[in-house]
Structure 1
Amino acid sequence: MSQKFRNHDAVLDIHDRPKPVHWIGLSLQHLFTMFGATVLVPILVGINPSIALVSSGLGTIVYLCVTKGKIPAYLGSSFAFIAAMQLLMKTDGYPAIAQGAMTTGAVYLIVSFIIKKIGAGWLDKILPAIVVGPVIMVIGLGLAANAANNAMYKTVADAQVYDFKYVFVALATLAITIFFNMYLKGFIGLIPILLGIVCGYLLALVVGIVDVEPIKQAAWFALPDFQVPFIEYEPKLYLGAITTMAPIAFVTMTEHIGHLMVLNKLTKRNFFEEPGLHKTLMGDGFAQIVAGFVGGPPVTSYGENIGVLAITRVHSVFVIGGAAVFAVLLGFVGKLTALILSIPNPVISGISFVLFGVIAASGLKILIENKVDFDKKKNLLIASVILVVGIGGLVFEVGTFTLSSMALATVLGILLNLILPDQAKSEV
């Protein structure tokens, strides 16, 4: 498509630069839209949220540079890797997560190179709906138990004790978030998660389960505790982290492609042709490597920000770039980091009941939209194995080589789809 093309339905098209005052406001709007989800991921994993803010901002800037400012996409913390990162944080900590994040970026770069050479048809063959749908369901449902436990129990003298206040705050936060999702309109209708966290936090303050002392003691300016793996740590290869997170990259690629499809319709362009799918994957890959290098979680394009583009009809990459710069700057505000860290588990759990459920339901939606036939034994067997292995927690270990349940479920799903015939003998 010609570079001179302009989408006249847009208030600001991709390369339109807003006036300075409008620019600040529009960029902050994008920032606040992704804020709740982006900081929730590191909170659930145990990563400093200030690092996640910085890594999402840097990742977005890298993405815009690689795609030459042709795609208005903001990259935030990916939910798909939460379970894998939680596991790695318990075993090897930050360095393992950092290597895993950089590995997923490397997978994107390899796939980008292959697509540039031979096209993208092979990607559809190894990741059909019958594989992607159940794997996404596993990503959401595999986290359900953690969310429920954090909503019920507080730690007293190294023991887990049931607390009614915790359950009350979690369920109230859940109810408030559902209400906001259903009844708010306009811009505030795009940030129900952030509003749910705020209201849940205020309720937690009222019932007395928030420790505000760290907020009072925190400095306004504070350098994030960057966990640069090649400087802070002795050189070591975390093979388990690599094998745990790398397969999940293939799942997030489908999300990446889906977001591009929506952006194509929204902006009246074809980003698969210009700058090309290989370029968009390359941008995402380099963004993940940068995020991992500073100790942040892997990043991915955010549906919340696509919603803002649709409602405001502001598609300017300058606005997206401004949001990225603000995210980096906010990462250095010490009191904000302390405030985020003070959010109690029941509030996060109340939000998680919605978010994890939405992830699982998204997998179910893929199966429905693609009209997957479960009367076919092949489809039934693939979905069954993925769901039980992934949710059940089956881990494959040989020496230092480890495949987490989610990664193992993904690999088994891909292999079964490639190996099994389309029809069983009994169906012929």
Structure 2
Amino acid sequence: MTFRSWVVDKASWFAIPGFVTPEFSWKAIAVILPAGIVVLAEHVGDLSVTEKIVGHPLIRKENGLSRSYMGNGVGTIISSFFGGMPVTTYGENVGVMALTKVYSVWVIGGAAVFSICLAFIGKVSAIISAMPAPVMGGVSILLFGMISASGLRMLVESQVNYGNNRNLITSAVILILAVGKAKISIGPLEFEGMALGAVVAIILSLFFLVVDKLGIGDKEEAAN
């Protein structure tokens, strides 16, 4: 486990993204589309967990989710003009808030501006990329572990009924597909991991909704 100092030595002090002439490509759209679906699902998940962590209504307040989605959509449009991917809520920041107990909008906004400024300093980016993998892995385990634990806490506090086979099946399928990095390809479209889990979750929810409407299955279970 060594720090790769030569990466820092070769990096320039000032760095900007490499720009190219944009080209319209249906194939590129098909590749990025699954990421857009993940953004929608991840947005609701991160917002729900954040709501539980900070103890302040974010989704439940009037137009809370719609306004948050609108901000995300505007950010994605702006990102696309610079060749970026669909922007999303950052799950790692949710973990940082849970660890530090700092929920101030001004602090987080200031950190965002500071991060943007640091992105133009090539040496800083090089230092981060030169970090030994075990070090970054240890930080990732803690952050993603906090996010997962916060999600489990949300399920417990919401009193999700896992005696209901439908809830059990939906959760089991999503976990295996998303965490297990399953992949399905349909022509140019490729769904993997979180994207596949999000799509399957939507399909399963619609399927069980249709089953309820048709009155198929155990009525007592449907009521739960």
**Pair in the same fold by TM > 0.5:** yes
1:253 paired with 2:46, answer no
Q: Tell me, yes or no, if the aligned pair for 1:378 and 1:424 is still in contact at 8 Å.
A: no
1:298 paired with 2:90, answer no
Q: Tell me, yes or no, if the aligned pair for 1:396 and 1:403 is still in contact at 8 Å.
A: yes
- C-alpha distance in 1 between matches for 2:143 and 2:112: 23
Secondary structure of 2:102's aligned partner: helix
Task: Select the residue among 257, 265, 271 that pairs with 2:56.
Answer: 265
Matches within 5 A, 1:11-410: 204=1, 209-220=2-13, 222-226=14-18, 228=19, 231-237=20-26, 238-254=28-44, 255-256=46-47, 258-259=49-50, 265=56, 272-273=61-62, 277-292=65-80, 293=82, 295=84, 298-300=87-89, 302-303=93-94, 304=96, 307-309=101-103, 316=106, 322-410=110-198
Distance 1:351 1:402, change over 3 A: same
- C-alpha distance in 1 between matches for 2:217 and 2:23: 52
Counterpart residue identity of residue 347, structure 1: V
Q: Give structure 2 stretches of 5+ with no counterpart.
A: none
Counterpart residue identity of residue 298, structure 1: V
- C-alpha distance in 2 between matches for 1:323 and 1:359: 20
Q: Tell me, yes or no, if the aligned pair for 2:79 and 2:85 is still in contact at 8 Å.
A: yes
Q: Tell me, yes or no, if the aligned pair for 1:239 and 1:402 is still in contact at 8 Å.
A: no
- C-alpha distance in 2 between matches for 1:405 and 1:369: 26
- C-alpha distance in 2 between matches for 1:410 and 1:297: 16
Displacement of 1:282: 1.5
Secondary structure of 2:56's aligned partner: helix
Distance 1:235 1:348, change over 3 A: same
- C-alpha distance in 2 between matches for 1:367 and 1:347: 31
Counterpart residue identity of residue 374, structure 1: Y
- C-alpha distance in 2 between matches for 1:352 and 1:334: 23
**TM-score (norm: length of structure 2):** 0.73
Deviations 1:272-307 (A, max 9, x none): 44x854333212222234345354673426434683
Displacement of 1:263: 6.3
Q: Tell me, yes or no, if the aligned pair for 1:390 and 1:408 is still in contact at 8 Å.
A: yes
Displacement of 1:393: 3.3
Secondary structure of 1:300's aligned partner: coil
Deviations 1:369-402 (A, max 9, x none): 2111111111111112212222333322222122
RMSD of aligned Cα (Å): 3.5
Distance 1:295 1:224, change over 3 A: farther
Q: Tell me, yes or no, if the aligned pair for 1:389 and 1:405 is still in contact at 8 Å.
A: yes
**TM-score (norm: length of structure 1):** 0.41
Give the aligned length. 208
Distance 1:347 1:218, change over 3 A: same
Secondary structure of 2:190's aligned partner: strand
